[in-house]
Each structure stands twice: as structure tokens, then as C-alpha cells.
Amino acid sequence: MKQQKDHLYKLRHSLAHIMAQAVLQIRPDVKLGFGPPIDTGFYYDFDFGDNPIQDSDLKQIEKRMQKIIKQKQEFSCSVKSLETAVEGLLDANQTYKADYAKELASSGEELSFYVNGSFIDLCEGPHLENTGEVPKGCFSLDKIAGSYWRGSEKNPMLTRIYALCFEDAEALKEFKKMRELARQRDHRKLGTELELFMFSDEVGVGLPLWLPKGNVIREELEKWAKEEEFKAGYKSVSTPSITKGKLYELSGHLPYYKDGMFPPMQIDEGDEYYLRPMICPHHHAIYGNRPRSYRELPYRISEYGDTFRFEKHGSLAGLLRVRSMCMNDAHIYCTREQVAEEFRAVLKMYNYYYNKLRFGDFRVRLSLHDADSGKFVDQEEEWLQSEAMVRKILVDEGVEFEEEAGEAAFYGPKIDIQVKNLLGREETVSTCQLDFIMAERFNLKYTNSEGNEEQPYILHRAPLSTHERFISFLIEKYGGAFPTWMSPVQVQLVPVGDHVLKYCEEIEELLRENLFRVEVDNSSDSFGKKVRKAITSKVPNIWIIGGDEQENRTVAWRRYCGGKEQQVVSLDDGLKALNIMRSERLMDNFDDVALPLEK
């Protein structure tokens, strides 16, 4: 595996040189910036002066590259002293490279260059043996973008040419296919088309506004979570979105988190208030409200609560990186002896949710501390004990996991649930943390059976993550087609003509009385267009109503995912089936789930 990666690295890196060489042949005056491999290929930065290139030039560059590849030019390394190196670069008018060379060699070391054909580049390698080793069809020039020299706005703006590059033509094709699918399913695109959420310049960047249809999905998830939490013995609470800074001094979050928080507000004299970046301290305040006995433990409190993080403007991305979010949070306060069972119950809940939602292969990462990094609370003994505790639970439960040092929360080990997105990139959907620190900091106690005071352990968990992150993930996973129980519109009624409108209205009323989200398409569009509209808006159930249906008090039921096939069922049976789909939360957006109709 490693070897393959190294090979791909060499391939991408060599192609970056070949691209720069080709561009130099076409534009001898161009000044070169950097040109590294990246995880989808490579890029190179160029300064074209007053005469920038266009997308239409990429073809010509690619042609030149093919020529260089055919010539099987050998890559060879040469080492030069700083003086000779800088002189050579300045002679070639490569001022960016010359500046960089000076910086690199400030220690007086020699610099390595790679040469192929007439092209020479300041570079550490490694490279292919010769340009002929580039497999046919493994790369394509992708796009042009602007980029500051060395990433700083104070420097000149360069032109970056991005290229895709994979092991071979097949792999490149596959990546392009997946990228196209991901583009079509991008939650930002679907979120706009399906009217799920919006952003507004007047409200502010990174602050999503949930539209009626998107809000349905939020509310359905919350309803589900609250039912499951109720069954699992959680109690629901509500707490404010702002708090005094004192709370975060106590928790120790301020030194770790300040950059990620909105700046403080001065309200009462001497008091700084913050929009909260996390909910934990509020829940700790509730636990600490009065003395607790061991009989009350485990004490589990949950809240779908708003939190705020100050993400940099440039890093905001749709719902995935936002400045305000609503979290499926809960905290479990328990004795040391109860940790394993509580952790197990939380794992079970995660499993239940993710299997139900068909997340497929998710990966569990056990995130541990790293004593040398200085990023974690300095209590080595406690760390090792807690980590061993979590590791044992995972092993006992037969959960497959990988360990990673340095990824823990600063107050304890955690497990991260990693799910792959469409492009195969792993995202952390949610985490569960074991905390042995905060009880002490917040002076949280309980009286044990001998009448002595002890500190509880705290579990932090958020299986359904934040609405923003989780729903963006669901949108892309399902391509916008939600199961009936979550769907913004559950049934679309399509009358074949005006003569059945009355029956349609009757059905609409019946469904609404039974709390189903139903819409009648009484537009003047053609029948075919009405059906197409229902399908593109991803309504799972389309009920077609014609004269026969009106006469027999039936509906012709077409499924969004079931193509043109339809079943005629009595209105009563239709309603019964919908009730089952909702109460059992059937995942009927998957083909293998049949309508719950009696045969």
C-alpha cells in the first residue's frame, strides 16, 4: 500500500514538473511558483504577468505535456551551492524560486534540483525514472484558479493550474464519475433546489436559515432522538445560548477554544458574556444545582441546543462548517463502576441510529492523548486508566476500531465515528467522550453509599451530531430523497383532471387530520408534468387520482423510487400503510423496503 502511494506521489510530482515545462515552452516569460502533488493530482502556480492564460489554453498545454512524455526524458538530480543556484534562477528570471532558494538555504546548505530535458526545478524529489513512465490517460488538466504567492494576500496573485491524476486511466475515470455524482448530490445544491435551507448576507455568513421543508427534517430527527433518549432514561432540559466567561475559565475551555469563539460581550459591569461554543458547562451547572446521592446516578440529561463557533470566513462551507449549529447533546454523570455499562448503552444507541439510517461501513476511532504534546490535561495516571476503560469496552463489545494518539479531547479519551462521504473522504459524524476532569473543575460531587463525597465521571455524547452536519450528510447520502417519515412532503396528490378535485380535497383533509404532510397539485400543468415535478422534488409517495379512483374510493400509489409501477389500494389501506411507515420509521427510500400493504 505504502509503495503504491509513493508511486502515485512520484507520478503526480513528476507530472507537475512536466506541466511547468510545457507552460514554459508556450510562455517562455512565465515565472514559476510552487507545484506540489495533492490528494487528487497536482497543481502548479504561475505568474503570467499581464497576459493570463484562459481555460481554452489548457488543451494546448496538455498536448505539450504528451509530447514531453513521449520523449522519455530522464529525471536526474543535481546539487548546487546556494550561490550558483540563486544565480541560475535569477538568470532565468525565476524570481519567486530565487527568493525561496535563499530562504531554504539560509543555513548554508546545498540545494537539490531535478532536471528533465531542458527543464530544471528546485526540488527535493523523488521522481519517476523518466517521463515515459506516465501511464496513458492517467491525468487531465482540471481548472484554473487564483492563488497568492505563499498564501499571503500581501504577495502577488498567481495563476494556479489544477490537474487530476490517478494510478491509471481507469482510476481517473472512476474519480470523475464519483465527483460528478457528488456534485449532483452536493447538499448546497440540493438544499437550494429542494428549498431546505438558505443563507442570507443580511443575516450573516455561516448562519443557516432553515426553510419550512428543511425544518421538517430537523423536527423529525429531534422527535426520534427524544423518543430514544426517553426510552434510555434521559431527562430533557433547556439552557440559554449565552453565558458568563467565568464558566469557560472554570472549564478550562478559554485557553483552548478562545479563537473558535465569538468575541465576548460586555453586559453587566465587569462581566463578559459569550455565545456558547458547547453545552457541557450549562449541564454541569444543572447537575451541581443541589447535592446528589449515588441513588440518582446515572444522571442523564439531554438537550437539542444551539451552539456558536467563530469559524473563519474562508473555511465556511455550506452546512458542513457554520457559525451557528444545533446539537443532539447529552451528558451522563455516573460512578466509576457505571462507566462501562453507560458507555455500552451509548454505543448501542449509535449502532441503532446508524444501522437504521444505513450508514454502511462506519469506522470507530479511539482517540487517545499524547503526553508530549502539551495539549492535554497533565494527569498521566488518569489518562491511562480511562483509555484502558474505553478500550476494554470496545473490545468486549466486539467493535472494530483503530487507535490514534493526540486526537482526544483535552479532558479525556473519546471515540470518533468516521463515515465516508461519496468521494471516499472520511468525516467525523459524531463523538463520545469519557471525561475525568470536568467534575473536579466544576466541583461536582455525589454522596456514595458510605456517606462520603466522590466525583462522578461524565460521558459526553452526540450521536446525531449537529443538525447542520448531520442533515448535510443525509442529503448527500440519500441524494435528497428522504424516507416517508422524514420527508418534507410525504404524499403528493396528482389529480388527472378537475373532475376529481373534490375527492382530492377529501383525501388531503383526511391525511392532514392524521398529521401527514400532503400537497395537492391543482396547477394547470399536464398530468405528465405533475408527476415529473413530484419526482424531481423527491416526494416519496405520489397518489394519482382519476375517475376510477374517485368512484371506487381508491388511490393509485406510485413510489418515487419505484419508477412507473403503481398499486391501486383503497384509501383506508393507504392511510394504514402510511401510519405504519411513520410509526416504524421505515427506510422506504431504499429499494428493498416494500410498502406495508396487506396482500
Name which position in 284, 309, 323, 460 contacts Zn ion (CB under 5 A).
460
Contact 395, 355 (CB under 8 A): no
Measured CA to CA, the distance from residue 168 to residue 576 in angstroms comes to 53
Q: Which is nearer to Zn ion, 460 or 582 (CB)?
A: 460
Q: Which is nearer to Zn ion, 210 or 436 (CB)?
A: 436
Identify residue 369 by its one-letter amino acid code. Answer: H
Is residue 507 near Zn ion by the rule CB under 5 A? no
Q: Near Zn ion by CB under 5 A, which window of 153-161, 278-286, 494-502, 584-592?
A: 278-286
Identify residue 95 by its one-letter amino acid code. Answer: T
Q: Which is nearer to Zn ion, 292 or 460 (CB)?
A: 460
Q: Which is nearer to Zn ion, 8 or 491 (CB)?
A: 8
Name which position in 8, 85, 164, 280 contacts Zn ion (CB under 5 A).
280
Q: Residue 216 has what DSSP assignment?
A: H
Identify residue 227 by its one-letter amino acid code. Answer: E
Q: How far is the CB of 6 from Zn ion (least distance, A)?
A: 14
Q: How far is the CB of 92 from Zn ion (least distance, A)?
A: 16
Q: Near Zn ion by CB under 5 A, which window of 116-124, 333-341, 362-370, 539-547?
A: 116-124
Q: How far is the CB of 357 from Zn ion (least distance, A)?
A: 23
Q: How far is the CB of 188 from Zn ion (least distance, A)?
A: 29
Measured CA to CA, the distance from residue 141 to residue 64 in angstroms comes to 12
For helices 571-583 and 501-513, angle between their N-to-C axes, nearest 10 degrees:
30
Q: Which is nearer to Zn ion, 323 or 460 (CB)?
A: 460
Q: Which is nearer to Zn ion, 186 or 382 (CB)?
A: 382
Q: How far is the CB of 122 from Zn ion (least distance, A)?
A: 8
- The three-point CA angle 132-137-141 to 5° equals 100
Measured CA to CA, the distance from residue 44 to residue 259 in angstroms comes to 32
Measured CA to CA, the distance from residue 432 to residue 366 in angstroms comes to 10
Is residue 432 near Zn ion by the rule CB under 5 A? no
Is residue 123 near Zn ion by the rule CB under 5 A? yes
Q: Which is nearer to Zn ion, 324 or 430 (CB)?
A: 430
Which residues ranging from 84 to 103 are in contact with Zn ion (CB under 5 A)?
A: none
Q: How far is the CB of 553 from Zn ion (least distance, A)?
A: 53
Q: Which is nearer to Zn ion, 104 or 371 (CB)?
A: 104
Which residues ranging from 42 to 71 are in contact with Zn ion (CB under 5 A)?
A: none
Tracing cell 388531503 back to the chain, one arrives at: 508
Identify residue 393 by its one-letter amino acid code. Answer: I
How many other C-beta atoms are found inside a 10 Å radius of the C-beta of residue 543? 27
Q: How far is the CB of 465 from Zn ion (least distance, A)?
A: 13
Identify residue 154 by its one-letter amino acid code. Answer: K
User: What does the DSSP assignment read for 145-197?
Assistant: EEEEGGG-TTSPEEEEEEEEE-SSHHHHHHHHHHHHHHHHH-HHHHHHHTT-E
Q: Which residues bind Zn ion (CB under 5 A)?
A: 123, 280, 460
